[in-house]
Amino acid sequence: MFNATVQRIRTPAFKITKNCKSKDCHSVLYMIPHGRRFLSTSSCLYGKFLPRKKPRVVHEIAGLEPITYADRMHFVPGLAKPRFPPWDRGWKDPSHYTSPKLEDMPLHKDKPCYMFNQRTNVLEGVRQALWLSKSVIIKGLPAQILALAEDPANQIENQDERVQDAIKNSRLWDTTEPRPPRERFCPSLLHRLLHLCDGLQVMRPELAKRILAEKYSLAATWRRGEDVFQVRGQNGLLLNSMTPVPVLAGEEQIQSTADQALETFYPIAPTIDLQRTHIYQEKNDTGFREGYPYPHAHTLFLMEMGNTPKLFPEQLRAKMVMFAFGNALARAQALYGKEPRVLEKPIVVQSVATNGRLFQFVVFQLNTTDLQSDSGVKNLVWVDEDQPLYGFAKVWPFIKKKVVKVPAGLSGYQPNTFKKFLALYLHGAA
């Protein structure tokens, strides 16, 4: 039915009269979707049109040639409508372009590919992400990072005060409106916390060898069983560094993963909710060109603001695992080539996701790119779920029957969450 989605388009030239307001004449329409004309002002402005009825189906009878009025050059009632061969303009006119059918497109392949992009909301959550990336989960952060978190030498001075200030700035003092929306306070809080962590560069010069990158497009391809999978998309903030992240799990732990079985969830297939497409390109791209001074992906920061689309914590962790895996796999294929193999030097990518209050930490260690079979060495994932940074940050106190249940301002602050955040940031440089 809705072959084209309703989009806002610009005013056509012939509709711009001297009585039009200047804001209507922003730009002239030169692209009419599907070659249809809009016969009213509002449909011009909003691109909304009723779909055209399908033309009457004319059946061809083999052996019988219909007598058409083509040679008479005018309509003759009773004779058939002539069908002319499609006219080829000879050059590509962008405003009169009809895309070819799916089967005729150059990148069409018979074998479908299952794509995971930044809008995917997987049904089975982390279990599905573990199956897709052939990994084994360990609850809690690894010991090295926890040691970094507890070490008092790694703290910022007045750490708790400064973090609470950062929260109050982004949650309470950022706007004159009653409360800032999540799309505003979530990125604001994340950037303030990162800025706090950056302040440690004075003590540790290795922290200066990092850079934050936004809106980079990731592409990673792998095969699992008989299916092809890809991770694509612009996922979030990536902290790149000049030196790779040190390996967390020892050799024995990696070899012991070979004995653990991957969890399946019959009757649901692991390809559920992934975008199935026949038109794809098997691309492996870290998002940055060769010769980029900060080639190693260190930490991926994901922000969940509930708009594209709203993800529950389980699905958000799955998205973190998949994109961390995608980054690691793209890096491995850039370093070692596309041959599936067990890596001597495993690649570690960290990930932090937040919705403004709850933090999820994931550390992904890529041990092998041999993902075709279900057996053998597997990758490792450490997941720390649902760490609240604070309980409530209310502008007005929550009062029930004249008793203050939740006071105004910041309440329920948890210092451990920021310690873990800082530890993940310092990992590799301390």
Interface with other proteins, residue 268, by CB under 8 A: yes
Note whether 266 binds other proteins by CB under 8 A: yes
Q: Please, what is the minimum distance in Å from the beta carbon of residue 114 to other proteins?
A: 8
- Exposed/middle/buried for 173, CB within 10 Å: 0-12, 13-18, 19+? exposed
Amino acid at the residue 384: D
How far is Cα 234 from Cα 127, in angstroms, rounded to an integer?
A: 23
User: Degrees (nearest 5) of the Cα angle 150, 135, 222?
Assistant: 130
Among 269, 334, 335, 408, binds other proteins (CB under 8 A): 269
Q: Which of 4, 6, 105, 123 binds other proteins (CB under 8 A)?
A: 123
Strand partners, 232: 219
Check if the beta carbon of residue 63 is closer than 8 Å to that of residue 75.
Answer: no
What are the residues whose beta carbons fall under 8 Å from the beta carbon of 291, sequence distance 6 or more? none
Span interacting with other proteins, options 145-153, 193-201, 262-270, 355-363, rule CB under 8 A: 262-270
73 lines the binding site for other proteins (CB under 8 A) = no
The stretch near other proteins (CB under 8 A) out of 3-11, 47-55, 197-205, 418-426 is 47-55
Q: Is 203 in the site for other proteins (CB under 8 A)?
A: no
- Counting contacts by CB under 8 A, is residue 100 touching other proteins? no
- For 308, the enclosing helix (H) or strand (E) is none
Taking the complex as a whole, the smallest distance from the CB of residue 36 to other proteins amounts, in Å, to: 13
The answer to whether 1 contacts other proteins (rule: CB under 8 A) is: yes
Q: How far does Cα 86 stand from its chain's mean position?
A: 40
Report whether 207 contacts 200 (CB < 8 A): yes
Q: Does 4 engage in binding with other proteins (CB under 8 A)? A: no
Residues within window 272-301 making contact with other proteins, judged by CB under 8 A: 272, 274, 276
Q: Which residue has the tokens 């290795």?
A: 206
Q: Which two tokens stand for residue 298?
A: 């260190």
Q: Contacting other proteins (CB under 8 A), which of 20, 34, 41, 51?
A: 51
Smallest distance from the beta carbon of 79 to other proteins, in angstroms? Answer: 10
What DSSP string runs through 213-236? E-SPEEEEEEEETTEEEEEEEE-S
Residue from 63, 77, 106, 205 touching other proteins (CB under 8 A): that is 77
Q: Using CB under 8 A as the criterion, which residues of the chain lie in contact with other proteins when the complex forms?
A: 1-2, 50-51, 53, 77-78, 123, 266-269, 271-272, 274, 276
